[in-house]
Amino acid sequence: MTMSLPAILPSESDVESFWQAGLRFATGVSVITVGSGERVHGTTVSAFTVVSRCPALVSLCLRTSSGLAEFLIDHRHFAVNILSREQSRLARHFANPARGQGPDQFTGVAWTPGFDAGVPLLDRAVCWLWCQFRRVVPAGDHQLVLAGVTAAKTGTGAPLLYYAGRLHPGAIGEEVA
Ligand SMILES: Cc1cc2nc3c(=O)[nH]c(=O)nc-3n(C[C@H](O)[C@H](O)[C@H](O)COP(=O)(O)OP(=O)(O)OC[C@H]3O[C@@H](n4cnc5c(N)ncnc54)[C@H](O)[C@@H]3O)c2cc1C
């Protein structure tokens, strides 16, 4: 049985309050890279989540207008590059609609071809995951992408954080009591 969801928030200002509250959930920042050669693409995403340990599953949440989902469906495999605190420039670059298309987006970006398809892995990221597209689930004005993880490599360094709509340098120190 399918159920239609009610509009939960009554007014536009309530919707904005909800969105601003959601932005108080601090996340890391990743650049999704997909394809190679002339058909390569990269996009900044904060809505990345590890969903399941066994089987290894992750999710992305993308705007319905995002061109990235089409690339993921076409190529079936993609990399998640979790950015380090020194990579705020890359986070902004791969979110800029004027970054160009195909390999032009990677001009001046340090990367190494990785995993089995030569996908760009951004140098100096905190870690890299190699993911296999599974499905897209429509979710309001966004869409949830579910993917399996077939390989992972960890780097070093502290992560870049996204909180309240701004980028912040993560500082990883001693565990708090
Ligand atoms: C810190 C941060 C976190 C973010 N987190 C998220 C998030 O979690 N989810 C989210 O949805 N957005 C997020 N964004 C916004 C997102 O990064 C931008 O909106 C970005 O531009 C979306 O890129 P896209 O790949 O969807 O491509 P588009 O915005 O669709 O287009 C970008 C470029 O790719 C080209 N292009 C697009 N599709 C194709 C195609 N099929 N073939 C050839 N060229 C194509 C376009 O011409 C354009 O040049 C975040 C931004 C920031 C700064």
For residue 74, the surrounding DSSP H or E stretch is helix 68-75
- Closest CA relative to residue 51, chosen from 163, 144, 159: 144
- For ligand 1, what atom is nearest to the CA of residue 142? 11
For 35, the token pair is 């394809």
Residues in contact with ligand 1 (CB, 6 Å cut-off): 29, 43-47, 61-63, 66-68, 70, 91-92, 95, 97, 100-101, 162, 167
pLDDT per residue of the chain (177 residues) written in tens, 0 to 9: 555 555 677 788 888 999 999 999 999 999 999 999 999 999 999 999 999 999 999 999 999 999 999 999 999 999 999 999 999 999 999 999 999 999 999 999 999 999 877 999 999 999 999 999 999 999 999 999 999 999 999 988 999 999 999 999 998 888 888
What residue ranges do the domains of the chain occupy? Answer: 27-157
Write down the CATH superfamily of domain 27-157: Electron Transport, Fmn-binding Protein; Chain A (2.30.110.10)
